[in-house]
Amino acid sequence: MLHSLLQWWVSVYANSALTRTVVVFCHVGGLLLGGGAAIVADRATLRAFPRGEDERARHLRALAGTHKLVVGALAVIIASGLLQFFSDTATFLHTWIFWTKMGLLLALLVNGGLLTRFETQAAARAPHAQREWRRLRAVSILSLCLWLAITLAGAGLISM
Amino acid sequence: MTSRRDFLQTGGCFALALAAALGLSAGLEGLPIRLTEGSGDGELRTYPIPPADGVHVDWKAQVMLARYQGTVYAFSLACPHQQAVVQWLPNDHRFQCTKHHSRYTPTGVYMSGRATRNLDRYALQRNGAQLVVNLDHWFRSDQEPAAWAAAAVKL
């Protein structure tokens, strides 16, 4: 049953340019929207870090609004990524770039969890949250690097 | 703030999906595409003769062994167009490039797409119940059409 479904999807994906276009658009569009929003938010965190308490509080409020967009985009990225994976399972499973990308994605999800945790702590401990802000700065830098690294790994997969 | 919960839900879904994908990979043997690994050193790789029609892929050597209507062929895994991976489509009974979707018959003959020639065939010969593929000798259909046509083992 599962094999039949998989073979059906392999055939549909291989034979329908429209299906491939929609799936790839969801993947790249999600990356553009989610990654773009995350990078803007990360840069804003780095800008708010050396500033006063008012600016930091304003940034934390804005940051909370960004998460839903990033999480939603990540869900679309993962779903469309799985559809691409199932279209050619054998190839992806034997490619180290694929596993690197999955590792980076996992790191991004863990980093996102840490980011929201530090953000909550920073808001709760204001105006004495210097340590939390240092952590926020660190995970924001890591987030920037991870989004770019995932894009690089994706480009590598396309070039296979 | 529910973002952490959202995050955990997304992460959980990702983990489940990955687990499902890994579970499927363990069942790949049930597909007409089978993974294989040739034995032997250097450029000569030895494979058992495929018992039935289907495609056997040796990822390490980048070779596809295809048995079709009583004849076995050894194809390069790379599409002649831009060297992307070629995929066997069991439901459609043909090969297709994963990058620009050039199509080939089970015997490696070009059907459509951006490629301009057939799949490259490796030289192979039968040795008892084994097939010996010479990875050092492959044939392009546009440069050596006779050798390309002869690169097959009838069973």
pLDDT by residue for chain A (160 residues), tens only, comes to 788 888 899 999 999 999 999 999 999 999 999 999 999 999 999 999 988 888 899 999 888 889 999 999 999 999 999 999 999 888 888 889 999 999 999 999 999 999 999 999 999 987 888 899 999 999 999 999 999 999 999 999 887 7
pLDDT at B25: 47
Give me the pLDDT at residue B10, please.
58
ipTM: 0.73
Q: Look up the domain containing B15 and give its range.
A: 1-30
Task: Say if CB A44 and CB A59 are below 8 A apart.
Answer: yes
Same domain, B111 and B45: yes
Same domain, B9 and B68: no
Q: Are residues B61 and B132 in the same domain?
A: yes
Which of A21, A63, A67 should one mutate to test binding to chain B, selecting the residue with the greatest count of B CBs within 10 A?
A67
Distance separating alpha carbons of residues A100 and A105, to the nearest angstrom: 9
Count of domains forming chain B: 2
CA-nearest of B12, B18, B6, B136 to B74 is B136
Residue among B56, B102, B55, B94 nearest B78 (CA): B102
What CATH number is given to the structural domain containing B38?
Answer: 2.102.10.10
Report the distance separating Cα B83 and Cα A147, nearest Å: 28
Tell if the CB–CB gap between B3 and A116 is shorter than 8 Å.
yes
Spans of chain B below 50 pLDDT: 1-2, 24-31
Domain boundaries, chain A: 2-158
For strands B54-58 and B33-35, give the pairing. parallel
B59, B114 contact by CB (below 8 A): no
Cα(B12)–Cα(A75) distance, integer angstroms: 11
Are residues B24 and B69 located together in one domain of the fold? Answer: no
What is the predicted pLDDT for the residue at B20? Answer: 56
Residues of B engaging A, defined by a Cβ cutoff of 8 Å: 1, 3-4, 6-8, 10-11, 13-14, 17-18, 21, 24-25, 27-28, 30-31, 33, 35, 57, 59, 84-85, 87, 89-92, 96, 98-99, 101
pLDDT at B21: 54
Three-state DSSP class for A9? helix
pTM: 0.79
Does B102 share its domain with B62?
A: yes
B17 and B83 belong to one structural domain: no
